[in-house]
């Protein structure tokens, strides 16, 4: 588990995770949430099929 070095050093945003990288910088990453539903994408209409004339028999 991490330790708190300085309280209030970073203004935290909801839904974000903060960590210290290898260079010692504080980084912010958006947390993945498994339970949230995505907005439904608008469905594209299926392309209309062209009516073709029946084939002529020889």
- Residue-wise pLDDT for 4-45, tens only, equals 777 877 788 888 888 888 888 888 888 887 666 667 777 777
Query: What pLDDT does 45 receive?
Result: 75
- Contacts of residue 28, defined as CB under 8 A and 6 or more positions apart, other chains included, come to 10, 13, 16, 17, 18
Greater confidence, 51 or 17? 17
Q: Give the Cα separation of 2 and 19 in Å (integer).
A: 9
Greater confidence, 52 or 1? 52
> 27 phi and psi, to 5 degrees?
-115, 150
Query: What pLDDT does 26 receive?
Result: 83
Query: What pLDDT does 31 receive?
Result: 85
Q: Give the Cα separation of 9 and 16 in Å (integer).
A: 15
């Amino acid at each position: 588990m991490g330790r708190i070095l300085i309280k209030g050093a970073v203004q935290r945003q909801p839904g974000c995770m903060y960590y210290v990288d290898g260079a010692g910088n504080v980084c912010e990453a958006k947390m993945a949430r498994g339970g949230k539903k995505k907005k439904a994408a608008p469905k594209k209409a299926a392309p209309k099929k062209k009516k073709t004339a029946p084939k002529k028999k020889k």
